[in-house]
Amino acid sequence: MIKTFYFILLSFALIACGGDKSILDEEIYEGPIISLFNTYTKHSDDGIVKIIIKAPKQEQYDNGNDYWPEGMLLELYNVETGDLTTTLVADSVSYSKEAGVYKGVGNVIVNNLDTKEQLTTEELFWNPEEKSFYTERFVTIIDEEGLPTYGEGLNANQDFTEYRIIKPLGETNIGQDIR
């Protein structure tokens, strides 16, 4: 009788331990853990606005990355005066927590409101830690007078007051005609 009891107990234990392990074969979900709509994010330091981000949709991921699939408006402010200096818009933007960099893709436009210059490109990176923009893609810069400058690749400071086109292309207007 005791042997039968141990046999039944051992049978139940084996059945319980040999259960369905298909859950271990399931793919790990890597999609957004949070989706936000009509977002308005303000970053400030000591009560002074530094950055405002506006977007119709923002997705946050478990690894700390963010994605704005329907575009984003980024506003950069002068921390000394509180004035809006630079805007960036793009069709979509992603943020890599590991790299600490934002990547704008599709119809990227940066406007310097002080110098009235405008940058357009299809891909642009923004590093808030280094306070810089950069790309290896084709860029067009329209100056205050509406004159274009073209090139491939760009390095610029975040308020877009200083920039360098890596490979300038075409003709560039430099000041007045010398006679």
Amino acid at 52: I
- Helix segments in the chain, DSSP class H: 2-17
- Do the Cβ atoms of 105 and 90 come closer than 8 Å? yes
pLDDT at 170: 76
Domains of the chain with bracketed CATH: 30-169 (2.60.450.10)
CA distance 96 to 119: 23
Instruction: Report helix, strand or coil for 84.
Output: strand
Tens-digit pLDDT profile for residues 62-101: 999 999 999 999 999 998 888 999 999 999 999 999 999 9
Q: How confident is the model at residue 25 (pLDDT cuts 50, 70, 90)?
A: confident
User: Residue 43 to residues 13, 18, 36, 92, 139: CA-CA distances in angstroms?
Assistant: 57, 53, 17, 20, 28
Mean pLDDT score of the chain: 88
Contacts of residue 82, defined as CB under 8 A and 6 or more positions apart, other chains included, come to 48, 49
pLDDT at 139: 98
Model confidence, pTM: 0.79
